[in-house]
Amino acid sequence: MSNAQIIPAQNTQLTQQAQLDELLAPWAQALALRVSAQELAENSSKSYQRGARRFLDFCLAQDLNPRAPDSVREWKAALLTEYKPATVHAWLAGVKALFAWLSETGIISHNPAEHIKGAKRKGTNKRHARESLTDSEMRRLLALPDESAQGKRDAAILALMSYAALRQVEGYRADLADLKTQSGRLVLEVQGKGRQEKDEIVVIMGDAEQALRDWISARGSDEGALFVSLSNRSRGERLCLRAIRGIVKKYYSLAGIVGNKTTHSLRHTAITKAISAGVPIQKVKGLARHSSIETTMIYFHELDRLEDPAEAYISY
């Protein structure tokens, strides 16, 4: 398909649905090539396409010219009234990627999204929105799973999140073959957030190791996903992200845990607990598998603000 076939020279307003579809198809092929070349994660490719599709549908419904920067701003402003900034930022990244490709390939003469700023969560560089769990909440939570195969699986998931700061997406992507022994310790090779390969490790020790080995004993040694479904309908299949979140939510409810606490709160708690124990920042960064030390510093600033506040030193 040539550029001329994608956008007829006489048409400067991309408002026909057929024309929009013609734009997305070759772009999707270009994204697929980037995924194959390990330049882009598959999940990012899907997110980009969702964002671009939403934007183009919005322009069609509102009779806007998609090539006008203000059309991108109008769409962004409309999204911010309904969705969280992080979601808007992800979809906007798709629009930026689409127009960058159209510009680079010469299909359009300029990139209308080039100078549009991403949506940022208020206070991202100051504090986390999610709460940590207290020690008593953690003890109640980790004591709940029973000795059934399902209970052992759930206990392993909770333990890896609570002791090794495992992300739910890392647990979802993990395979049995990713478990290795390095320097005498059990480790799990993981593909973390925004990563394209399983090039980071989670060190598994103590109660987390015991819970994981109990689950593997019940799971068996068959190749495949580390955490699998045990239901009759999908037995043996990889647990999806929704199922992992559902497991954590179920045990929160059973433990009587309330407040702004999500699946990510277990990871948040593990990182915060390490800092409270005096672990140096570089080691905490390794535990958290943060790409930037600045991200790890958010946890340090947060904890110090509450444990040793300046207000405690004021007296009259």
Question: What is the H or E stretch that residue 186 is in?
Answer: strand 185-190
Span 138-161, pLDDT tens digits: 999 999 999 999 999 999 999 999
308 has pLDDT over 80? no
3-state secondary structure of 279: coil
Q: What percent of the chain has pLDDT over 70?
A: 89
Closest listed residue to residue 56, CA positions, set 44, 70, 67:
67
Span 51-60, pLDDT tens digits: 888 888 888 7
| Two structure tokens written together for 252 | 């929160």
pTM, rounded to two decimals: 0.62
Residue 120 contacts residue 80 (beta carbons within 8 Å): no
| Two structure tokens written together for 16 | 């026909």
| Two structure tokens written together for 172 | 């979802």
pLDDT band at 122 (very low <50, low <70, confident <90, very high): low
pLDDT recorded at residue 147: 96
Closest listed residue to residue 300, CA positions, set 129, 290, 280:
280
pLDDT recorded at residue 23: 77
Place of tokens 């999908």: 234
273 has pLDDT over 70? yes
List Cβ neighbours of 115 (8 Å cut-off, separation of 6 or more): 69
Residue 273 contacts residue 162 (beta carbons within 8 Å): no
Q: What is the mean pLDDT of the chain?
A: 84
